[in-house]
């Protein structure tokens, strides 16, 4: 499935404060695009613009899947997001959270698929436990199960290994490898080991310029 994300002269400002300006990047299928830079440089905001969660001040995002240029509302069906801002429901179990999110997306829910995803992210046997009893690392793993539930062509990761132990970090590495084989990974991180995943990297800095690097960063 042919997938491509094109950022065209993206600018984001809040009043007189400009986070970044005129960012233009083409992200092809089967690649990893990494944003990095200091806190407050706009990494999370740029990810949210790509996901269609907030508007850019100017510029546009074009997402193509299977050779078709998608409308913004269509593109969300093809994006999976892992973010510190994603809220899970502590009063529900992990399986119930996945069932709820499947319903929100209009997807049929498969308990077997949910169990398989939970096993893959390292939550085997914990699917019926209330998420309110989970550690922060377990919640991060559940966010991956949610993001992968609809088999997205584009996986967007904000602080991908936040709160994860060594085993969890290895799971994320495998998720990135698999996703790159079938689509696109877009991630924001300042961890050197994660920046090195990038086929392209973009360094955001104050007061809002970016420097694009082709090829893995080391």
How many Å apart are CA 41 and CA 35, to the nearest integer? 10
Total domain count for the chain?
1
Q: In the β-sheet with 31-36, what is the strand arrangement from edge to edge?
A: 79-82, 154-158, 184-188, 31-36, 200-205, 209-214
Where is 129: in which H helix or E strand? none
- Predicted pLDDT at 212: 73
Omega before 63 cis (within 30°)? Answer: no
- Predicted pLDDT at 83: 97
> What CATH number does residue 51 fall under?
3.40.50.300
DSSP H helical ranges for 8-150: 43-50, 72-75, 94-104, 111-120, 136-148
Domain that holds residue 155: 3-214
Q: pLDDT tens across 38-68, in order? A: 999 999 999 999 999 999 999 999 999 999 9
| pTM, 2 dp | 0.94
- Predicted pLDDT at 17: 92
Pairing state between β 68-69 and 58-65: antiparallel
């Amino acid at each position: 499935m042919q997938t491509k994300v094109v950022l065209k002269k993206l600018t984001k400002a809040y009043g007189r404060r400009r986070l970044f300006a005129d960012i233009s990047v083409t992200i092809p299928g089967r690649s990893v695009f990494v944003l990095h830079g200091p806190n407050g440089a706009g990494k999370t905001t740029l990810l949210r613009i790509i996901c269609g969660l907030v508007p850019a001040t100017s510029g546009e995002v074009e997402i193509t899947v299977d050779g078709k240029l998608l409308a913004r509302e269509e593109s969300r069906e093809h994006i999976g997001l892992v973010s510190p801002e994603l809220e899970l429901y502590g009063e529900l179990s992990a399986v119930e959270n996945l069932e709820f999110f499947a319903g929100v997306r209009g997807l049929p829910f498969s308990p077997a698929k949910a169990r398989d995803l939970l096993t893959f992210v390292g939550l085997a046997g914990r699917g019926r436990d209330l998420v309110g009893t989970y550690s922060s690392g377990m919640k991060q793993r559940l966010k991956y199960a949610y993001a992968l539930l609809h088999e997205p062509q584009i996986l967007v990761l904000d602080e991908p290994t936040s709160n994860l132990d060594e085993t969890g970090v290895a799971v994320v590495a495998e998720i990135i490898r698999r996703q790159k084989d079938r689509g696109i990974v877009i991630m924001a991180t300042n961890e050197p080991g994660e920046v090195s995943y990038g086929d392209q990297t973009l360094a955001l800095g104050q007061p809002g310029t970016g420097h694009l690097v082709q090829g893995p960063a080391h």
